[in-house]
Amino acid sequence: MRLAAGIRGGSLALFAVASPVAGQVGDYAYVGVGSGQTTSVAVAALHLQVGSSDDPVGMEGTAWLLGAILSDQTNAALAGTSATVSAVVGRSTTIYTMTAPRDRWGASWATLAGVIFSDLIQPAALERSRAALSATSAFEGASPTADFGREAAGLLAPPSHPWAQPPKGDSESLASITDADLQRFRDERYRPASASVGLVGTGDARDVIARVDPAPRPEIDSIAWTEGRRVTIAQDVTSAWLAISYPLPARAGRTELEFITQLVSDAVEPPVPDPSLFSMHVRLVDAPHGPVVTIETVVSPSAAAVSERRIMGAVRGLAERPPAGELFQFARRRFRAARLLEESYPENAAGRIAADLMRSGVARNLQDEIWGIDSRSLAGALALLGEPRVFLLGPDPRGPQG
């Protein structure tokens, strides 16, 4: 009998785990149970270190296709139980999230684990998922979305790094993937002993999920890049697509990085509604060599240069004049409220626990960590923001040439 890993500040329930029960497929590297969450359902998030960066050459889209197929097959197996499963495939991770009635979550989990790790790929599920993903790929290929995503991601990774390859592949690569290819990919990449599980609303999970004793996870202590760069691609589109990314100090704590991301988002938002701004998203990205905060915005072409200067000026001002005193206290309370609201959804809480465990082997107590951030440590982290990398896709400002 072993004890669950990943205990910090009471954020996880400590439980002893016995041998796997019937339907359990292997032991898991990390298992964490959220405590203090009142919910009418049980949620389990299975976090695998498998993503589009693992796709074989010429078969881009494999990880996405497999995630869609296995969630499809799992939902079919759970039909009539009120349990549902969804899959999110990223560049380096795949997360399956199961929501089930609290009194039947163990049986639903056994079904999920059996399908995800053992069941054969069903031809009908393959063709359904391939058709849906091919349609999405064709739609995005006819818009600037694919070009923008590919080039913007390329600036965050070393040259030719698979992390930056198109996550969903294209029609040609998707058509080439067979059920045997998917079986082989899963056999090689999907391993319970290298996965983490986050649970919310399940109560004591000792009779359902077991864990192994994992090797310590090394912490990243590098920076994504040390030199800034700017890339512009002229394309005959009706909007300008802009991405500005800053490398963050990896040695800062995860909660502090999330706080910085929130502060950047607040700083770059226009003070009044801007009719030339069509959308803006600020994200914390785990790039291959370190964390990055990325600001992506779509604006009117005539406003692209002004938007770029305004965003970069706002981030520079934040680094040079970080919040202090009452402004810091207010910003921290606001960040805390936003995080607690996000974690009020059990799916988000379970996913965060699983991601924390996979990242460091420890799940955070967000309350303690947020209150533990002080203005001095925040200012030090902001001072270490690296040189930005900028990507602009839009009409040639010189107008039609030739």
Q: Which domains does the chain have, with CATH numbers?
A: 2-200 (3.30.830.10), 229-347+360-394 (3.30.830.10)
Model pTM above 0.85: yes
Q: What is the pLDDT of residue 176?
A: 93
Alpha helices in 166-243 (DSSP H): 171-175, 179-189
**Residues 245-292: tens digit of each pLDDT:** 999 988 889 999 999 999 999 999 987 778 888 899 999 999 999 999
**Residues 13-56: tens digit of each pLDDT:** 333 232 233 334 458 888 888 865 667 899 999 999 999 999 99
Alpha helices in 155-226 (DSSP H): 171-175, 179-189
**Residues 99-144: tens digit of each pLDDT:** 999 988 999 999 999 999 999 999 999 999 999 988 887 777 667 8
Alpha-carbon span 293 to 257, nearest angstrom: 9
Alpha-carbon span 378 to 361, nearest angstrom: 24
Q: What is the pLDDT of residue 1?
A: 28
Query: Are the C-beta atoms of residues 68 and 129 closer than 8 Å to each other?
Result: yes
